[in-house]
Amino acid sequence: LHPDGWLGQSSGPRYVQLRRRLEEGIGSGLLPPGSSLPPEREIAEITDLSRVTVRKAIQELVKSGSVEQRQGSGSFVREQVERVEQSLSHLTSFTEDMQRRGLQTTSKWLERGIFLPSPEEVLTLGLAAGDSVARIHRLREADGHPMALERAALPLDILPNPLEVTTSLYEILEKSGHRPVRAVQKISAINLDPPEAELLGVAEGTAGLKIQRVSYLASGRVAELTRSIYRGDAYDFVAELRLSN
């Protein structure tokens, strides 16, 4: 943002012109990921624009996901996550998938305990009248980056103590002889609503992938109903297809 002629050849409203200049700075690496933007006041001084205009330009960058605001410390160029290629041909766990890539997994817990089941959980998990359900809802992170929101529900005899799950659910199921061997997965496109976007650290309205997994034990019984929301900007799902005969 040079004081002389920062507008260049731009046209359109001033906040749009400023937004474009900042985007150019981000795109060219002049403002690298993680770097802070100069304070609003400073940008206003350099560009001779009002603070309202500067704020509007920054708000646009926040909305588009290239800038994030941290309470009390200003605006930063957002770090872009590396996309993860995820095979749809193997029944793996999040922990296994990330470990294979050399990434550390962490969870932020949103809900974990024993609850009254929803009608959908009763039907899908084949629960009897009066049965409770084990539910774990968490934000899953890889090397500190939020990747997916995941809400799993399991019958209590498969997961009697949901509080025991501190890292990998499948590891616990494996130990108790309840590791699923088959799953049916459904993937749909969504736009993240404000709370989902905030948890996943992306702009509101960003594309997400809603994934439902129903997994089965070797006996054919349903072990798990999991509804997840994956970041659309972080995942590519890949399936191998063969000619059927």
Name the site residues for ligand 16G (rule: CB under 6 A): 93-95, 150, 152, 168-171, 211, 213, 224, 226, 228
Alpha-carbon distance of 199 to 206, in angstroms, equals: 12
The structure tokens listed for 135 are 């539910």
Q: Give 15 or 170: the residue with its C-beta nearer to ligand 16G.
A: 170
Side chain identity at residue 28, one-letter code: S
Backbone angles phi, psi at 123, to 5 degrees: -65, -50
Alpha-carbon distance of 21 to 231, in angstroms, equals: 27
Contact criterion met (CB below 8 Å) for 129 and 183: no
Query: Nearest to residue 198, comparing CAs of 56, 94, 100, 70?
Result: 70
* CB of 221 vs ligand 16G, minimal distance in Å: 16
Q: How many CB atoms lie within 10 A of CB 192?
A: 22
* CB of 181 vs ligand 16G, minimal distance in Å: 13
* CB of 241 vs ligand 16G, minimal distance in Å: 19
Q: Give 16 or 156: the residue with its C-beta nearer to ligand 16G.
A: 156
* CB of 217 vs ligand 16G, minimal distance in Å: 14
Q: Can you spell out the DSSP letters for 108-130?
A: EEEEEEEEPPPHHHHHHHTPPTT
Q: Give 120 or 171: the residue with its C-beta nearer to ligand 16G.
A: 171
Place of tokens 């290629």: 85
Q: Give 1 or 156: the residue with its C-beta nearer to ligand 16G.
A: 156
Q: Give 134 or 211: the residue with its C-beta nearer to ligand 16G.
A: 211
* CB of 170 vs ligand 16G, minimal distance in Å: 3
